[in-house]
Amino acid sequence: MRLTRQSNYAIRALVYCAVNQPGLSRVADIAKAYAISELFLFKLIKPLVENGLLETVRGRHGGIRLGKPAAEITLLQTIMLTEESFALAECFEDGGADCPLIGECDLNSALREALGAFFSVLDGYTIADLASKKRNLRERLGLLLLEPELAVTH
């Protein structure tokens, strides 16, 4: 099984926002950090906003930020929003196969069990887990090296 680019970059966008907290993240900056098009990123962000994983802040100094704590956003939630199908074989698809073994085949049950295990592992990881090396990630993503909470205000 292979996840789509949509899932990959949706997770990356969430991680970017997590390591950039408490600041707002600009779509242009995220796109630049990952070398992807802004249009592609906007399409990815839409279902994340609609489902509360991200929120938008409008205005001249607007941007996006996590819609809930990073520790509450699982990888499973994210990929469920970005993947169209989890059919591991044609017999998983609705009305898909002409196989005479459908309903009696152990392959189908084995694949369902494997998919369940896959989902279980993804449900055990959060965006906070992926963003735990905040200082390293901020540097690699081109964000300021100074942690936001350490910034001095005048």
Q: Cβ–Cβ contacts within 10 Å for residue 45, how many?
A: 21
Three-class SS state of 25: strand
Domain locations in the chain? Answer: 5-146
The confidence score (pLDDT) of residue 143 equals 80
CA separation, residue 124 to residues 9, 67, 128 (Å): 19, 19, 11
| DSSP states along 87-117 | -SSGGGSTT----TTTTT-HHHHHHHHHHHH
pLDDT by residue, tens only, the chain of 154 residues: 678 899 999 999 999 999 999 889 999 999 999 999 999 999 999 999 999 999 999 988 889 999 999 999 999 999 999 988 777 766 666 655 677 766 677 887 888 898 899 999 999 999 999 998 887 888 888 886 434 444 444 3
Domain 5-146 has CATH 1.10.10.10: yes
pTM for the model: 0.82
